[in-house]
Structure 1
Amino acid sequence: PDDGTANDALKKIEKKIVRDAEVSKLFNRPVPTDYLKNRLQKLYFDGYLAKYELNVYEFNEQEQPVSLKKNYSLDVFKDMVLYSSFKVSDYFYRENDSFGSQNYFAIIPVNKSGKNGGTIIIELKSKHNRLSRSFPDLLVEGGNDNADEFKDYSYAFYADNKLINQNGDFVYDLVNTEYNIPIRQFRFLTSQALYPEWYRRFSRFNHLVYKPSKRNMIIVSKEENALFYGITSLTFFFVMLLLFTVLVVCIRWLWLRIKILSISENRIKWGFKINFDRILYKTRIQFSMIIAVVVTLILVGFITFLFISTQYNTQQEQMIRDKIARITTAFEEGLFNKYINNIQHEDFNDFEELANTYSADLTLFDVKGVELISTQPKIYEYGLHVPRMNARAFIYMRRLQKSEYVNEEVIGDLKYKSVYAPLKNNKNETVAFLQLPYFSNEADYKARIGSLLNAMINVYALIFIAIGLFAVIIARQITAPLNFIQSSLSRIIYGRKNEPIKWDRDDEIGALVKEYNKMIAALENSAQKLAQSERESAWREMAKQVAHEIKNPLTPLKLGLQLLDKSWKDKDPKFDQKFERFSKSFVEQIESLSSIASEFSAFAKMPDTKMEVINIFDMLNQAVVIFKQMDNVQINYPQPEKAFLINADRDQLLRCFNNLLKNAIEATPPDRTGIIDINYLITSKNILLSIKDNGNGIPDNMREKIFEPNFTTKSSGTGLGLAFIKNSIENAGGKVWFETIVGQGTTFYLSLPSSEA
């Protein structure tokens, strides 16, 4: 396949090579070819093109090789142009018969004084094991280096089942015995990764295998860790869900508790207020635990991050300091003299070889801070940095006479560390300064810190989930006894037997339970005493009322009998007339006594109700028919269209209607025609009856006691009628209340549920 990135890079650099005067100057001179190769490598074939191995061949105007390597013929490359290559630019060609690799070559003419001075052949071959580049990203040509997109992939090329090229972390077999697929078909295969670490045993490799021909095969592989992928997915999902939940909860919480305006005394008042009173105790415990854990994790994470980043920077600094110490020792053994004065081209090759030996970039400065030689000449030739030593480093090394100095430096957007050391001769005199820049410092630091943050986020997310669940469980365990006590308190009924709470532990909740049990015991004792006192008081009041009511008819009976006895003894001639008159009065008083006894008996038998399903309108009609026949009374009662069934005691309900109608008639002044309006409102679950009169109404001071036994607004009567009505309606599951206006009348409302409700 074609390498578009390489093609674009080659199109740009070929013009620079043709215009490079130094190339023409060095051509066909007694200069080692390695210097020309190193110059081309450092200035043009670095960056993305560093993955290709560079070879340079020189031919004179007679097309004869002039370098030490004379086993190459220019005709070979010309034949490749004609028969086995594709042209990618003006001078560069790509070989078309190179399975498993990308090979390029260029035939570049050299002009001297307008004449043909010879030919330079530049050959690029793919490296079998591509190493990470050792040059700064700032020097990479263009911005289309997409190598990072495929850094997790591995690939291999097989020819005749033998490995000819590979790249990546996966270890391929030298001889293929595992992958056998049909020609021109894609197959997805999976193999288990063999790692000693327990957490990497969950890893596996997914392979995409393609066989373009019978002899060739391509394999692309990628590692996949199911455990890591699962944890990462769970973490991402949890973090997103957590953020969304927090957002929703915060909005709802703020909506319920933030008050911006209020209306009071018919005025709108603006103000900002937050109400914290409605937050549950359980929620506070959970929130406190989670906040405490989050703050702890953040502090621990920050301290860990700070410690590891500082430690890594220290390790990097120590590494480059150790490296420059070894290089300085090598220089001071006698190698530096040739780099100080009259630097030759071959010296650059030796300097480059020394730098490669220690896998480092080096720059040599004289005692005035002027650059003498560098393994990254592009930095100075492209004008990215003046060919001078860093000012701060120069002051420390030259003025302050430091034996070593590590400096933070910047070129454009690239930040890196450099270590400087002086070079001394055998007289212990400083004759030069050596710089070792660590260009990959920032990239390594970001990669390490990125891996650390990724691991910390995943681990902390799992810890947060576990702590969140733990907080919920602990909060429920803590508040469960409180909820149980609250439930028990809500079931306390004054005057009834309340069960004590059993708690086996001797802790704060146990102390609270003991106090609760003491309270209900004291409350039960108090309720019994109060009930006994109320019963005695009620019986005393009842006895007084009964005695008073019985005494009223007994007084006229006693007086009548005394008068009859005197008339009899005096032989009164009108005795017969008096006897007849007093007999009628005695009968009336006896009937009054019988009525009083009946009313007290009925009130005393209130709990003995006989509930049955009855039509409420039948009971109301019976009462209306009786009272409608009375003089000076008008009852307005619209007849219902259908029955309404309720659960009630038939006799008690009839007596309720009789008492209400009787009270309405008796409340009407003698000089006014009594008008009683009966209305009703029916729903699916209940009925609301209203009985309205046009009497005198109920005074304010009597309204609160209207339903109490023995209370009456009339000059005669027991005062049990409305109390009887209230108890009867409540026994049927209903409610009774009234509205009154003095001088205009009173309306009584009866609300009763349906028997089907």
Structure 2
Amino acid sequence: MIAVLLTTAILMLIITNRHFNEQTGRYHEDILKRKENAVLASIDYLLDTYPGKVTKDNVYQILEGKILEISDINKLNIIIYDLRGNVMLSTQIEEPRHPVLPQNILDSLAKNEYYNETLDSKDENRSYYASYNYIKDVSEFENFAIINLPYETNDVFLQEDMFTLMGSYGVAFLFILLLGAIMIYVVSKNTFNKLSSFADRIKETQVISNNRPIQYEKNDEIGILVDAYNEMLIKLKEQSEMLAEVERQETWREFARQVAHEIKNPLTPMKLMIQSYMRKFDSEDEVLVERTNRTSNILMQQIETIESIANAFSDFAKMPSRQDEMIDMVQVIQNTLEIFSIKHITFTFSNPNIQTMFDKQYLNRIVTNIVKNSFQAIPPNRTPKVSVDINLKDDMIFITIEDNGKGISEEEKSQIFKPRFTTKSSGSGIGLSMVKKIIEDYNGKITFESFEDLGTKFIIQLPYTNEHKTI
């Protein structure tokens, strides 16, 4: 409020100063106009009473003897130019401001038959005005010469009046400002004390507690807040009881969903792996032993994952503790991808042997979750294409997984790593959040690029270390 009052006072002073200056300018322009009319009338009378014919060639001789008299009567200097802008006569002691008229003045005279100018003076207390007109024969519409009437004023007295007026305004506004500040202080302090007390009660409010309503008798703005607060307490008590019951039920539902999701991740590819093995089983196959061993190893790896998940959820849904060991990341990822449809997956690597300290089960979970999501994001009418690449660069391991699915919408991009967020009707929404947490536990980073109806690419960055560490 003080700022509003102060701003108003400053704006009023600025507007008053501007208006005063405009009025002063119009006042001097009016004076110059009256003097101009008087001078032109005197010159017209002089030319009308001349016994001979007035032409642009003899106008100089006609005006020369009378120009000083006309100047003295009107207390105004007079400068006469010929039609080309050269000085013919002047009553000024000093040289005219324009010894030769500029082309813009001549053009304005030719178009409008007059020209006015206002110039800044070197002395801030003085102003300079000037008018330009034709001396002409009105009856025959013939121009004889150009007359310039310079008018210089002294604004000292007008400025003193302005400063007096501004001072009076300043005193009045200062009084209003002080009075307003006192009133604002009293009102705001009283209001602040009430609001402070009200705020203290709000800070004491708890969701599950026997909150006491505020007793307030006055019917003012604070009273509206107090009534709303008391109504809120009643609703808060009812909703807190409902919320406690819902949370108990939701906790068990969430726990069950998480267990089902984590167990289902390895079970689904295991089922597909066994079905594929059974379809291709041939007792006379030369590589039967090798294929059986590879399938067994992959199944054992998935069974170990299920076992670690079961152990973790037995401790209330905790992730398995990290068991870092020196692993070949290319080999682990390759084994993980074999549970999917290999013909739709392209796996590339910059180095066939990338040894680093990492938990094999964690890496398996990361790749399984993202690749599985990639296949689920591909529409049924589109041939699936999933590419997986691992690259070692600048002591960082880059794993990229790209698909040709439907992509992620702009609205979903900010939610994709949040727990319980899912775009699938059957998903629990903890897969990608779990992946993000694993990667961040290794001081890594996961980002993605996605374009709707074109596909999504996940980029995983993990620090590379080839030294054994104790975890």
TM range (shorter): 0.3 to 0.5
The structure having more radius of gyration, on CA atoms, is 1
TM-score (norm 2): 0.38
Which is helix-richer, 1 or 2?
2
Which is strand-richer, 1 or 2?
1
**Greater relative CO, 1 or 2 (CA 8 Å, sep 6+):** 2
